[in-house]
Amino acid sequence: MLINYTLIAVNPLAPLYTIFMNAEYFFGLLLFLLIVLMVALLTERIEKVRRLRTLNSELTRETVKLEDANNELEAFAYSVSHDLRVPLRAIDGFSRIVIEDYEKDLDEEGVRLLNVVRDNTKKMGQLIDDILLLSRAGRQEMKISELDMSSLAKNIYADFDQDTKGRTVIFSVDDIPRAMGDRALLTQVFTNLIGNAIKFTGDKDISKIEVGFKDAKDDNIYYVKDNGAGFDMKYYDKLFGLFQRLHTQEEFQGTGVGLSIVQRIVSRHGGRVWGEGELDKGATIYFSLPKNLD
């Protein structure tokens, strides 16, 4: 009976026990699933970190490569500025010494030939200087400040007094707004544009050069306009090309680097350069600068 009793006594608990057992099983299962999930998440996480690390080290490698390339470029520019000038000076100097010291032994043609050598060394010297300017315009660190564009343009024009001496030049600067930019670089922009305007109006009786302004939504648009030799719009795509020239050396001297420098500097400021021209009527070169420079 005792056994029976016991059985009876146990039996009422049996469903509970089953539920408890099921619950334990359920929680166990839940725990197991949770662990599986966590392991899966963790594995994924670890995988992600690993991938990130690989990407990171790849990036570091690329950065080092880029730095190497930059240093190489810097070393190249340095070498150009120093090493290429030395032989050039020797060629120019010694041709001149021959003219000086052997004047009586040389006929007119001999002197002319040596002067051809000297003219070309001068051109190459100019080319080296311009390439260096271009490289510097691209790599020089920018210090942004507010600039009085009107007095900048006027001062630069005044620096060209040697080139405008004896000529009739009407130079005007409109009421143009200030700009945010790097002083040295934007000085270079105006130097090249105003210098071009002075050069290409060289054979006009009266040269007219105007520095003006147009308002746009987000940009200030400045321009330098002249009444000089201009250019044919059908060659417009060559206007800003490096070493591209739209005039012969006999017409106007130059290396074809000036507008490339302008374009590089303006684009570093987040702006744009464009132009319009007509042959023998003149040219206008525009450049835009963002009103708010971040």
Partner 1 sequence: MSLDEVEILLVEDNPTDAELTIRALKRKNLINKLVWVKDGAEALDFIFAKGIYSKRNVDDLPKLILLDLRMPKVDGLEVLHEIKANEKTKRIPVVILTSSKEDRDIVESYKLGVNSYVSKPVEFDEFIDAISTMGFYWILINKPPSEVPHGTD
C-alpha–C-alpha distance, residues 18 and 107, integer Å:
125
Amino acid at 194: I
Select 128 or 221, whichever has its Cβ closest to partner 1: 128
Q: How far apart are CA 195 and CA 156, in angstroms?
A: 9
CB of 128 to partner 1, least distance (A): 8
Interface with partner 1 (CB under 8 A), residue total 19
Nearer to partner 1, 136 or 245 (CB): 136
What's the rounded Cα separation, in Å, for the pair 282 and 113?
Answer: 36
Does 141 bind partner 1 (CB under 8 A)? Our answer is no
What is the C-alpha to C-alpha distance for residues 223 and 210, in angstroms, rounded to an integer? 8
Residues 71-130 that bind partner 1 (CB under 8 A): 78, 81-83, 85-86, 88-90, 92-94, 96-97, 118, 121-122, 125
Between 92 and 182, name the residue whose CB sits nearer to partner 1: 92
Minimum distance of partner 1 from residue 95's CB (angstroms): 8
Calculate the alpha carbon distances from 235 to 197, 238, 270 in Å: 18, 6, 25
How many CB atoms lie under 10 A from the CB of residue 32? Answer: 10
Distance (Å, whole) CA 37 – CA 275: 64
Exposed, middle or buried: residue 216 (CB in 10 Å: 0-12, 13-18, 19+)?
A: exposed
Q: Kindly tell me which of 88 and 293 has the beta carbon lying closer to partner 1.
A: 88
**Nearest CB to partner 1, comparing residues 51 and 89:** 89
The answer to whether the beta carbons of residues 224 and 284 sit under 8 Å apart is yes
Q: Which is nearer to partner 1, 77 or 293 (CB)?
A: 77
**181 to 200, contacts with partner 1 by CB under 8 A?**
none
Range 252-281, binding partner 1 (CB under 8 A): none
Binding residues for partner 1 (CB under 8 A):
78, 81-83, 85-86, 88-90, 92-94, 96-97, 118, 121-122, 125, 132
